[in-house]
């Protein structure tokens, strides 16, 4: 979804095809909301009750995301120097990016610096900071407390555009609702709550088919909504239902499209794909041409090439940067290596 959203942004396709693609994937950046909810779910699901070790958790999260972040930031810098000198970040912007705090600054030259998609990692870094501090108190509230927290989180996501419109300065509204880490916390909390309800066998939501229908309906509504409501408010119910329903289907060993070998492998390299795809697209802009608006056969060829190169680069980064970097950062004093979730 995010890849095709960026394909729309760079306008590989012109004419009617470009318009149709824009209609279908102009709200593809809602995939980031799916990612934030899923992140909370996976972290809660993979953290057994009674787990301790805050620093150990933070270390494992750093090892999970930082090698790829650093590698793609260096690639982005090389691109800035050799392909687009006007995009070289200033020292403060680069430092904010490297320390994953760029999204706290309401300035596009910060939160879009170096590798632009890394703004979401700044949100994730904040989530990782919060998670070990909140998971035990949240679990202490029991499943009823989880339901209450989930309801509040859901209400906040839906109400966020209205809250931002009322309290944020108009010139910073886009940042406040989409990039600002605090504004995305309710989605992350919702994911945690979903995991707890599924774990306690208290999830009473729809099954996989209905959840997918809700997701598609919310996605369609997002394409019709005003911009502030496109980012998460329209899709949050469908995404939350889909994630929980897919987890329940796994537990019951019901048919699911995401358990096959190819799906699992693509899932393993999906983070690397996310981190590298915009760099591939932007390289193509400089080497081919910017906003070409080609007829559909040429546009399909260019978009297909960008996808294939991105997927290949993702496999290389996953194999030779992400996995070795994680093992290196988790290496203990005796020279062994710990497995990372």
Q: Quick one: pLDDT at residue 296?
A: 87
Measure the CA–CA gap between 150 and 108, rounded to whole angstroms: 31
The H or E element spanning position 239 is: helix 236-251
- Averaged over successive runs of 10 residues, the pLDDT of the chain (341 residues) comes to 91 88 89 96 90 88 95 93 77 94 94 93 96 94 93 96 85 90 96 95 91 95 88 95 94 83 91 96 85 88 94 97 94 52 46
Does residue 340 lie within any of the structural domains?
no
Does residue 36 lie within any of the structural domains?
yes
Measure the CA–CA gap between 54 and 131, rounded to whole angstroms: 9
Task: Report the chain's terminal Cα–Cα distance, integer Å.
Answer: 25
Domain count, the chain: 1
> Would you tell me how many other CB atoms lie within 10 Å of the CB of residue 152?
14
Does residue 336 lie within any of the structural domains?
no
Measure the CA–CA gap between 235 and 165, rounded to whole angstroms: 19
> Would you tell me how many other CB atoms lie within 10 Å of the CB of residue 98?
17
Does residue 222 lie within any of the structural domains?
yes
Q: Quick one: pLDDT at residue 339?
A: 46
153-186 per-residue burial string, b: 16 or more CB within 10 A, e: under 16: bbebbbebbeebeeebeeeebbbbbbbbbebbbb
Q: Quick one: pLDDT at residue 85?
A: 56
Which SS3 state, helix, strand or coil, does residue 191 take? helix
Whole-model pTM?
A: 0.91
Measure the CA–CA gap between 136 and 54, rounded to whole angstroms: 11
- Residue 331, beta-bridge partner list: 337
Q: Quick one: pLDDT at residue 237?
A: 96
Can you count the helices (H) and strands (E) in the chain?
16, 0
Q: Name the token pair of 16.
A: 């009617």
**Cα Rg of the chain, angstroms:** 20
Q: What are phi and psi of 261, to 5 degrees?
A: -60, -45
Does residue 339 lie within any of the structural domains?
no
Q: Quick one: pLDDT at residue 51?
A: 75
Q: Could you give the angle at which helices 54-82 and 91-98 cross, rounded to 10 degrees?
A: 140
Polymer length in residues for the chain: 341
Does residue 229 lie within any of the structural domains?
yes
Q: Quick one: pLDDT at residue 286?
A: 82
Which SS3 state, helix, strand or coil, does residue 292 take? coil
DSSP single-letter state for residue 170: G
Q: What residues contact 12, with CB distance under 8 A and at least 6 apart? A: 18, 292, 293, 294, 299, 302, 303, 306
Q: What residues contact 148, with CB distance under 8 A and at least 6 apart? A: 141
Q: What residues contact 264, with CB distance under 8 A and at least 6 apart? A: 258
The domain of 249 spans 2-329
Measure the CA–CA gap between 260 and 75, rounded to whole angstroms: 32
* DSSP characters over 94-122: HHHHHTT-GGGSS-HHHHTSSSGGGHHHH
Measure the CA–CA gap between 260 and 8, rounded to whole angstroms: 30
* CB-based contact 293:11 (threshold 8 Å): yes
């Amino acid at each position: 979804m995010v890849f095709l959203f960026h394909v729309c942004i760079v306008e590989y396709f012109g004419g009617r095809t470009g318009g149709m693609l824009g209609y279908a994937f102009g709200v593809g950046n809602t995939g980031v909301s799916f990612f934030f909810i899923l992140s909370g779910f996976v972290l809660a699901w993979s953290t057994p009750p009674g787990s301790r070790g805050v620093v150990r958790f933070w270390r494992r999260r750093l090892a999970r995301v930082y090698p790829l972040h650093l590698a793609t930031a260096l690639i982005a810098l090389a691109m800035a120097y050799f392909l687009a000198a006007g995009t070289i970040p200033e020292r403060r912007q680069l430092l904010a990016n490297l320390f994953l705090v760029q999204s706290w600054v309401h300035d596009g030259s910060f939160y879009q610096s170096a590798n632009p998609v890394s703004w979401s990692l700044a949100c994730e870094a904040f989530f990782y900071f919060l998670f070990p501090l909140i998971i035990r108190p949240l679990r202490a509230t029991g499943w009823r407390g989880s339901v209450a927290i989930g309801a509040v989180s859901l209400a906040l996501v839906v109400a966020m555009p209205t809250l931002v419109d009322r309290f944020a300065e108009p010139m910073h509204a886009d940042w406040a609702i989409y990039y600002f880490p605090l504004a995305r916390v309710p989605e992350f909390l919702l994911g945690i709550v979903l995991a707890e309800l599924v774990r306690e066998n208290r999830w009473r939501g729809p099954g996989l088919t209905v959840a997918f229908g809700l997701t598609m309906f919310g996605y369609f509504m997002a394409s019709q909504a005003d911009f502030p409501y496109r980012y998460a408010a329209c899709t949050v119910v469908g995404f939350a239902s889909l994630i929980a329903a897919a987890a329940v289907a796994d537990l019951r060993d019901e048919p699911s499209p995401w358990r096959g070998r190819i799906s699992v492998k693509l899932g393993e390299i999906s983070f690397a794909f996310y981190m590298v795809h915009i760099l591939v697209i932007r390289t193509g802009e400089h080497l081919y041409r910017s906003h070409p608006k080609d007829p559909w056969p040429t546009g399909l060829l260019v978009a297909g090439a960008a996808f294939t190169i991105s997927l290949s680069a993702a496999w290389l980064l996953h194999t030779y940067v992400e996995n070795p970097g994680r093992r290196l950062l988790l290496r203990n004093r005796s020279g062994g290596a710990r497995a990372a979730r």
